[in-house]
Amino acid sequence: MAMATVSSAKRSLRAELKRRLRAMSAEERRRQSHLLTQKVIAHSQYQNSRRISIFLSMQDEIETEEIIKDIFKQGKTCFIPQYQFNSSHMDMVKLTSPEEISLLPKTSWNIHQPGEGDVREEALSTGGLDLIFLPGLGFDKDGNRLGRGKGYYDTYLKRCVLHQQVKPYTLALAFKEQICPHIPASEHDMKVDEVLYEDSSAS
């Protein structure tokens, strides 16, 4: 597929997925988030990972708060995104406790993240990551992911490949409403290893 075709296909699919997500009730979002939290905690890749990166959820994403609490409960190390808004650069920086999240300043996207002057340990400078939980707007069963168009995760995953011997396992968290028959992808798009959603079978 030509680049122009891919980007226009992505644009219309993004609009459709945003509509679908807006139509979900808060109760349904909570129900699926709770179910996915259970799936994550039982997942062998999660159990065997020590250094984990996870996103702080926006309103239309699987709620990650309970997973974050479990990461700390299990004594694993937790890293969260620190986005640079004028580029596609993102770091994964260390979180010291689940309680700390509500104290972090909010970005223009209404997500908590450490402020610009807040210098923290970056995952790749201290040994890399075992597991990365990815958000996204849409996914297909082959692991193609439709992000929000900024390229943060694609860029970060390419950095991981340069810094680590073993590529981190990538696990996407999705509402079943976000699963599509086919996500248009170009060669720059990184596939995810597994998409976790209500009806996904354990791999």
Q: Could you tell me which residues are annotated as the binding site for ATP?
A: 10-14, 145-153
Annotated binding site for substrate: 56, 61
Annotated binding site: 10-14, 56, 61, 145-153
Total residue count of the chain as it appears in this document: 203
Decide if 108 contacts 147 (C-beta within 8 A): no
At residue 143, φ and ψ (nearest 5 deg) are 90, 10
- The two three-digit tokens of residue 169, written as one number: 């396992």
Contacts of 164 (CB under 8 A, 6+ apart): 124, 128, 129
Three-state SS string across 34-51, please? HHHHHHHHHCHHHHCCCE
Alpha carbons within 13 A on the beta-carbon side of 87: 7
DSSP character at residue 81: E
Which residues pair with residue 134 across a beta bridge? Answer: 172
* Strand, coil or helix: 69: helix
Q: Which helix (H) or strand (E) holds 162?
A: helix 152-163
